[in-house]
């Protein structure tokens, strides 16, 4: 008899209690062997995630650390194509040839499934589990947009979960799940407004977000750093958006100081300025009589360098394209 493996995809930007609750409920109600969480790389129908792939993977790893039945699945991260569900299912079907794959979707997503790429072929590779609010199965069916989709539901819907194990794909099953009023967009909005989010996501994920300064108002913080550098006579200030070139940070800033004393002073002034905004550096390297200081803020990395060091290492050449901002102080 095939194993029952759940598949739960999403941006996880960030992962929260709603994701974990959904996975746990489906896992327990359907007696699954495991659930594989699939972070999206390049969403086909949504805007790109705000946090980098690296950060989202680290947050998701923290979120599921206490759940050995949950595993990361990197099928979409490893793909260079847009994350169409049908392509991911084809890849996973080759990986789990003998197993029953159960794609878990929420009711709202299911209501628009007819807009997905090759949606009528989805059940050729998996079962679909719709996480439904109690007493709304008939309402869900009534709200779907096309007669073709209604007929598809009637053709494939089952009402007893044991049928999921009798074949590896082809069934549509609605599962009752009381809603949990939390979303990634809500968390990002609350963070931007400096509101409390402790109850909405695991503590380890919350700590990671704070440490890495994720989902903060980057433009405001960047402006403060720029102003600090200009006010204290830094020269040749440039900033690069490297979010599409690396998963480790979003912005690189480079500025020059004419002496070791000025370089250290600039680093100290920036440290004070950002701390006043409630932001603590992850690390500061090169202080104490150095010609190169690096300040790591997670999504922003600042290099303050002596002109000779800057000329020698040519950091600007590491990043393709033109700087987003350039300001020179006389």
Q: How many domains does the chain have?
A: 2
Co-location of 122 and 260 in the same domain: no
**Residue range 284-305: mean pLDDT, rounded:** 88
Domain boundary among 212, 239, 266: 212
pLDDT of residue 328: 43
Domain at 242, CATH number: 3.30.460.10
Average the pLDDT over 295-305 and give the result: 90
Looking at the fold, whether 137 and 66 belong to one and the same domain comes out as yes
Do 177 and 276 lie in one domain? The reply is no
Distance separating alpha carbons of residues 117 and 55, to the nearest angstrom:
28
Same domain, 289 and 308: yes
Q: Say how far apart CA 49 and CA 52 lie, in whole Å.
A: 7
**Same domain, yes or no: 140 and 222:** no
Domain boundary among 212, 238, 254: 212
H/E element, 301? strand 300-305
Q: How confident is the model at residue 281 (pLDDT cuts 50, 70, 90)?
A: confident
**Burial annotation 296-308 (CB, 10 A radius, 16+ → b, else e):** bbbbbbbbbbbee
- Provide the domain limits for residue 122: 4-212
Confidence of residue 133 (pLDDT cuts 50, 70, 90): low
Same domain (yes/no): 277, 207: no
Question: Are 23 and 41 members of one domain?
Answer: yes
Task: Give the domain-ending residue among 189, 212, 235.
Answer: 212
Strands 251-256 and 4-10 come out as: unpaired
- Model confidence at 27: pLDDT above 90: yes
CATH (domain of 24): 3.40.50.620
> What is the pLDDT confidence band of residue 142, given thresholds at 50, 70 and 90?
low
Q: Tell me the C-alpha to C-alpha distance, in Å, between residue 105 and each of 37, 174, 255, 260.
A: 12, 10, 48, 57
Quote the pLDDT of residue 330.
Answer: 35
Do 83 and 67 share a structural domain? Answer: yes
Quick one: 192 and 249 in the same domain?
A: no
Q: Are residues 201 and 238 in the same domain?
A: no
pLDDT at position 46: 67
Note whether 51 and 112 are same-domain residues: yes
Q: Are residues 200 and 225 in the same domain?
A: no
pLDDT for 208 beyond 60: yes
Q: Is the pLDDT of residue 146 over 90?
A: no
Which among 2, 85, 14, 114 has a CA at the least distance from the CA of 55?
A: 14
The residue-averaged pLDDT of 77-84 equals: 84
Cβ atoms 36, 206 nearer than 8 A: no
């Amino acid at each position: 008899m095939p194993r029952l493996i759940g598949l739960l995809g999403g941006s996880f930007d960030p992962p929260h209690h709603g994701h974990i609750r959904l996975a746990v409920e489906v896992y327990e109600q359907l007696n699954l062997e495991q659930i594989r969480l699939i972070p999206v790389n390049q969403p086909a129908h949504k805007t790109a995630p705000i946090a980098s792939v690296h950060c989202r993977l680290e947050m998701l790893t923290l979120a599921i650390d206490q759940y050995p039945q949950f595993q990361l699945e990197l099928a979409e991260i490893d793909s260079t194509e847009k994350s169409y569900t049908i392509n991911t299912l084809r890849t996973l079907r080759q990986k789990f040839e003998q197993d029953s794959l159960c794609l878990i979707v929420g009711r709202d997503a299911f209501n628009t499934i007819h807009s997905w790429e090759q949606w009528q072929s989805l059940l050729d590779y998996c079962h679909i589990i719709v996480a439904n609010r109690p007493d709304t199965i008939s309402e869900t069916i009534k709200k779907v947009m096309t007669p073709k989709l209604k007929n598809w539901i009637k053709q494939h819907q089952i009402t007893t979960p044991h049928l999921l194990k009798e074949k590896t794909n082809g069934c549509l099953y609605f599962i009752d799940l009381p809603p949990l009023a939390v979303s990634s967009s809500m968390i990002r909005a609350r963070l931007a407004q400096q509101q409390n989010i402790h109850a909405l996501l695991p503590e380890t994920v919350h700590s990671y977000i704070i440490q890495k300064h994720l989902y903060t108002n980057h433009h405001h913080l960047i402006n403060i750093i720029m102003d600090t550098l200009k006010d204290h006579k830094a020269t040749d200030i440039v900033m690069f958006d490297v979010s599409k070139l690396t998963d480790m940070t979003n912005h690189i800033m480079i500025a020059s100081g004419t002496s070791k004393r000025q370089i250290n002073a600039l680093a100290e002034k920036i440290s004070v300025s950002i701390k006043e905004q409630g932001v603590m550096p992850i690390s500061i390297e090169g202080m104490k009589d150095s010609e190169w200081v690096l300040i790591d803020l997670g999504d922003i990395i600042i290099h303050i360098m002596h002109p000779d060091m800057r000329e020698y290492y040519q950091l600007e050449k590491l990043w393709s394209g033109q700087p987003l901002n350039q300001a020179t102080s006389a």
